[in-house]
Structures are given as C-alpha cells and as structure tokens.
C-alpha cells in the first residue's frame, strides 16, 4: 500500500479544523511527522460568518498558538454587543466575553502559518482516493499516514470516498462584505426570518468599516432551495441597507449537528473533524469553535493519548495495528467533549423552530442578562440548556 514516506499524521484540509489538528499533534509531540494537505494555496477566502468566539482563542492558546491568539486580539476590534430580533421584538445586550470578526482569508492563513512554524509540512494536493488499511491509510496511492484527519469541509471528499454517512439537516448560507452603517458599528446583529423558517439574516461588524453580512436557512423538503437572488433579497428585507455596496458573495452548505453527531465516526484510522464531522451549531450556524476543538482532540489522539496525559501512548498503540485505535477512542472522546452541548443545541433548535417559543426566548433574554448570556454560550461554545434559561423560557411562554 503506497511507496511514499510514512507520516505520523496526514491532515486533509488546512482550514481551522485541520490547522488545529496539526498544531495539537505537534504540541503533544514536537517530533511528530505531520503532513498538511489542502487543494488551495493560502491565503484563500472561505464563505463564513467570520465570528471568532473567545472559546476559539482559548483552544488555540492551549495548543501553544499564543502568538496567533494575541495577534487576532491586537489586529481586530472586539465586538461587545449582540442584537437579536424577530419582527418587532428586539433585544440587545453586551456579551459577557467579546467576540472578534476575522475574515477567513486572514484567520486560516495565520493558523496555517503557525502549524508550519511548529513543524508541519504544507503541500497543495487534492485528495481523490482513500485506501484505509489495518496499519495505515494511503491517499492517492502514494501519501501514507498512520492516521488521517479529515478536515475537508461540509462536502468532505474523504467521507464520500469511504462511504461514511452524515445524517441530519443541512442549511445554506450566503455571505458578502458591505460597508458598516453607523447604527450597526460594534455589533453583531441577527434578525430571524418570518417567511421561510428556520432562517436568519446577519450583519457582523469587522471593526474596519466593513461588515460580514449574509442570510441562511435550513433546507427542507417543504420548500425549494433558495436561489442567490432570493437570499440577497431576504437579507435586504430583514436588514435594510445591508446589501448596499456589498461584494464578494459566496455561498456555502452547513451540515447541522444533532444530538447523535459523532456516533457515525468509524473505528479505523480516519478521524472526521469540524464540518466534515457534521459539527455546525444548529442554532447559529457557528462552526469554528467545533472545528478547532475537534481538530485539537483528533490531533492529540493521533500522536499521543486522547486525555493528553501520556505522550506517545496512542502512537504506540497504533503501531500494534489495533483496529479500535484511534477511531473508537476518538469517538468516545468526542462524545465526552460535546455530548451535553449537542443534546442542548439540538433541543434548543427544535424549540426555536416554533415562532412562539423563539419569541419567548427573546423576551426572556431581554428581561435577564443571565438568560441572554446562557443563550450566547449555547450558540457559540460548549453551552447547555441551563435551568435559568429554561425557567425564563417557561415564564415567558406562560405570559403569552
């Protein structure tokens, strides 16, 4: 199987999930042989809302990428306020921890540079064939890895070639960049749709005179998929003036997570992370935190121990040809990391699909900062449905 050098880890896709996997592997074992593959040269653009939650920076710092985290904080203005709206109902409050809005053309390039500086080898390569064996994985007949991390996005070629299913709903988003109007400076604005449900439009101030603007909706059999023109029209209807002077429109699919996400991870030597694992928050469409968190988990496990306490143990286990390592171990670790969050976001998304419940949630967030904070945490990080959030929701549902 293959004639090229045997890498300890081959990462397919050099976005935030793939770069985090490479950084984690090299942080765990600086002598690990890590190959990072991507079909594009960097810097390159990606369709995304560009929101970088503080949780993302915390993961990067745990991987030793302090320079990246500090540089993002230095070069990008913090966004301190979040506005949520549905029809005439609107709530705006400060976020407990400010977020950043960083174009992916910037974020991804910095993460890739950090991974290369740590020792990863970056190669432009489009993967078309995957042969997963007992002791190694061979890509395109020549690239050999003890473990492969598939970080190749929502339409993962690795997943498709291996025939690994990805259950759950999908959403479609459209992103552009537009001048920031004065009344949206320093804000992340989300306005939920009333005509095509579930859906929302957004405007996230980058802090440099421009905003990331867009519209997204969950795809279903009940209605036809939205066209580019419809999505731009819905964005302008929900957030008037947001499309004036806009450019760089890009669409993207989002595989929304469910409470069962991660259970389809196979036992072998290919680990799926981020969008390729179907890990996109069904409430907000946020995926960067899931990307770096699962990439970091997979990278550590690939060359060491999933608990991070015994460097080299995982690699030694792999050399024995154990079929359960690392896929089954990664699956269990992934569930430990995200089980409560995935159940909470799936439940919250189901509730929020009903306009009456969504309105009650917005009223509860308007009445109590703690409820607002719990909602933000649920949408951006590893939050959960707290008793306070559920109690606030119940009170406002009862009040009508």
Neighbours of 188 (CB within 10 A): 25
Architecture field, domain 6-76+103-168+258-346: 3-Layer(bba) Sandwich (3.50)
Residues 126-159 have pLDDT tens digits of 999 999 998 999 999 999 999 999 999 999 999 9
**Do 131 and 4 contact (CB within 8 A), yes or no?**
no
Position 2 pLDDT exceeds 70: no
Does residue 307 surpass a pLDDT of 60? Answer: no
pLDDT digit string, tens, across residues 330-385: 999 999 999 999 999 999 999 998 889 999 999 999 999 999 999 999 999 889 99
Query: CA–CA separation, 14 vs 90, rounded Å?
Result: 38
pLDDT at 4: 77
> How is residue 45 written in tokens?
């653009």
Cβ of 320: how many Cβ atoms within 10 Å?
8
Q: What whole-number distance in Å separates Cα of residue 344 and Cα of residue 389?
A: 11
Q: What is the pLDDT of residue 319?
A: 45
Judge contact between 158 and 168, C-beta under 8 A: no
pLDDT over 80 at 249, yes or no: yes
Domain ranges (residues) in the chain = 6-76+103-168+258-346, 170-254, 348-399
CATH class of 170-254: alpha beta
Mean pLDDT of 39-54: 95
For the residues 265-293, what does the mean pLDDT come to? 96
What is the residue-wise DSSP string for 296-351?
Answer: HHHHHHHHS-TTSSSTTHHHHHHHTT-TTTTHHHHHHHHHHHHHHHHHHHHHHHHH
Question: Rounded to an integer, what is the distance from CA 325 to the centroid of its chain?
Answer: 25
Structure tokens at 261: 């996400």
At residue 77, φ and ψ (nearest 5 deg) are: -70, 135
Cα-based distances in Å from 229 to 191, 198, 225, 235: 19, 18, 12, 10
Q: Is the model's pLDDT at 326 over the cut of 50? A: yes
Q: Does the pLDDT of residue 3 top 80, yes or no?
A: no
Determine the pLDDT at residue 168: 84
Portion of the chain with pLDDT greater than 70, in percent = 94
Burial pattern 149-163, b for ≥16 Cβ within 10 A else e, equals bbbbbbebbbbebbe
**pLDDT (0 to 100) of residue 220:** 87
* Residue among 274, 231, 266 nearest 251 (CA): 231
Count Cβ atoms within 10 A of the Cβ of residue 300 and give its class: 0-12 exposed, 13-18 middle, 19 or more buried.
buried
């Amino acid at each position: 199987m293959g004639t090229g050098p045997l890498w300890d880890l081959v990462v397919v896709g050099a976005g935030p999930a793939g770069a985090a996997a490479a950084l984690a592997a090299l942080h765990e074992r600086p002598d690990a042989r890590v190959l990072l593959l991507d079909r594009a040269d960097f810097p390159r653009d990606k369709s995304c809302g560009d929101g970088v939650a503080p949780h993302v920076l915390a993961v990067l710092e745990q991987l030793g990428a302090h320079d990246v985290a500090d540089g993002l904080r230095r070069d990008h203005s913090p966004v301190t306020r979040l506005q949520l709206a549905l029809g005439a109902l609107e709530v705006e409050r400060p976020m407990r921890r400010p977020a950043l809005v960083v174009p992916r053309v910037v974020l991804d390039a910095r993460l890739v540079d950090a991974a290369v500086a740590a020792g990863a080898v970056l190669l432009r390569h489009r993967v078309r064939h995957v042969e997963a064996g007992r002791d190694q994985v061979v890509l395109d007949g020549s690239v050999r890895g003890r473990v492969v991390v598939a970080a190749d996005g929502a339409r993962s070629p690795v997943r498709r070639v291996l025939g690994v299913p990805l259950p759950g709903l999908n959403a479609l988003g459209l992103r552009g960049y537009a001048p920031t109007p004065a009344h949206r400076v320093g804000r992340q604005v989300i306005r939920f749709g009333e005509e095509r449900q579930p859906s929302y439009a957004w405007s996230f101030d980058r802090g440099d005179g421009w905003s990331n603007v867009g519209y997204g909706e969950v795809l279903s059999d009940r209605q036809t998929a939205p066209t580019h023109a419809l999505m731009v029209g819905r964005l302008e209807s929900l957030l008037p003036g947001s499309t004036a002077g806009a450019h760089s429109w890009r669409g993207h699919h989002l595989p929304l997570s469910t409470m069962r996400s991660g259970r389809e991870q196979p036992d072998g030597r290919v680990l799926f992370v981020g969008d390729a694992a179907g890990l996109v928050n069904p409430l907000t469409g946020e995926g960067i935190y899931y990307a770096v968190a699962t990439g970091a988990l997979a990278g550590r496990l690939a060359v060491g121990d999933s608990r991070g306490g015994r460097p080299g143990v995982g690699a030694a286990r792999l050399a024995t040809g154990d079929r359960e390592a690392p896929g089954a171990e990664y699956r269990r670790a992934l569930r430990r990391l995200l089980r409560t969050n995935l159940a909470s976001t799936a439940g919250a998304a189901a509730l929020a699909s009903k306009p009456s419940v969504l309105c009650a949630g917005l009223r509860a967030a308007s009445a109590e900062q703690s409820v607002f904070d719990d909602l933000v945490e649920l949408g951006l990080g590893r939050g959960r449905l707290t008793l306070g959030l559920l109690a606030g929701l119940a009170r406002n549902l009862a009040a009508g």
